[in-house]
Amino acid sequence: MQDNFGRTIDYLRISVTDRCNFRCTYCMPEHQTFLPRTDILDYTEIALIASRFIKHGIRKIRLTGGEPLVRRDIDVLIRELGRHVQSGTLDELTLTTNGTRLSQYATVLASNGVERINVSLDSLDPSTFAEITRGGDLQQVLQGIADARSAGLKVRINMVALKDVNSHEVPAMAEYCAANGHDLAFIETMPLGDGVSGRTEQFIALEDFIAPLRQSNDFIPISHRTAGPARYFQVEPMGLRIGLITPMTHNFCGDCNRLRLGSDGKVHMCLGSEFHVDFKDAIRAGGLDAVDRLLQKALRLKPERHDFERQLEDRDLRLHRHMNATGG
């Protein structure tokens, strides 16, 4: 599949729920309203839409949320999508999680074609972690990560850069990941959602965020790529692979290969745009032919780039949709 700008689209992110057992300050307000269960796609509908996307050229799928592992019977969908990996029609099935349910699901993931996962972890200090997540238990997450590794899953830690909140923890997070064999990705915060705290005050460019690491390490660019937008470096002498995700300071839209299927059935062509195509009514009323037609419409509507830079500076331009509604 190609969009109007010649970009090959081969990566689908599927948000299976907008619900989460955390309330991270940069993701959603403390008191969030979630979709009624009747408004979200059921597993059969997700699997059917995914199968059509795969038929048209999607090679990698990532399950997201909210927190994907809080949705009841999520193992049903994991097994269904895992069959595409086992048959060779899908190259990769991955997951982004906050880690709280990994102890329960690590074996299920590993036995159904999932080889690697991303875990959101913004602090190794229990009190700071609880503050960012509004009550999360750091030890539960660390145990989940350890259990994932024991099950054979490769882990990448995702750390959102928050000025004056976790900036001082960069060396400690790097040492933790190096010692445990995890990759580490740093992510710039983005201006998404009403009622989300500190968008301007907490933003920090990644080059400033990682400055303490550069003082004592060499960052060697490497060709390693995943399906996402991270630019990877080998950090020596730490022996750590680091990815930088810089939507604000180092735009990567020219290489965008992604579509996002929300739990409500809306396909978002860009994280930073309100453009979407609603697949829920199509699959419920028109079946697979309607899905195929809308997929071609989605490709035509995919914008050339996001507008996060202006949205950060001008509150009136910011999207009302919260990160948990789209899946990142």
Looking at residue 309, what is its pLDDT?
Answer: 47
Looking at residue 182, what is its pLDDT?
Answer: 98
| Residue 303 half-sphere exposure toward CB, CA atoms < 13 A | 11
Q: In which residue ranges of the chain is pLDDT below 50? A: 308-314, 316-318
Looking at residue 202, what is its pLDDT?
Answer: 83
Is 72 annotated to bind a ligand? Reply is no
Domain ranges of the chain: 11-326
Is 177 annotated to bind a ligand? Reply is no
pTM: predicted TM-score of the whole model, two decimal places: 0.90
Looking at residue 80, what is its pLDDT?
Answer: 98
CATH 3.20.20.70 correct for 11-326: yes
Which H, E and C letters describe 202-270, residue by residue?
CCCCHHHHCHHHHHHCEEEECCCCCCCCCEEEEEECCCEEEEEECCCCCCCHHHCCEEEECCCCEEECC
Is 231 annotated to bind a ligand? Reply is no
The C-alpha angle with vertex 154 and arms to 9 and 91, in degrees rounded to 5, equals 30
CA distance 227 to 13: 10
Looking at residue 192, what is its pLDDT?
Answer: 58
CA distance 107 to 150: 9
Is 305 annotated to bind a ligand? Reply is no
> Which residues, 6 or more positions from 38, have their beta carbon under 8 angstroms from its beta carbon?
none
Looking at residue 286, what is its pLDDT?
Answer: 76
Looking at residue 314, what is its pLDDT?
Answer: 45
- Contact by Cβ (8 Å): 17, 67: yes
Is 173 annotated to bind a ligand? Reply is no
Compute how many other C-beta atoms are within 10 angstroms of the C-beta atom of residue 229.
21
Looking at residue 32, what is its pLDDT?
Answer: 80
Evaluate the CA torsion angle 256, 262, 267, 272 in order and state its sign.
Answer: negative
Looking at residue 324, what is its pLDDT?
Answer: 55
> Which residues, 6 or more positions from 114, have their beta carbon under 8 angstroms from its beta carbon?
78, 82, 93, 94, 95, 153
Looking at residue 197, what is its pLDDT?
Answer: 53
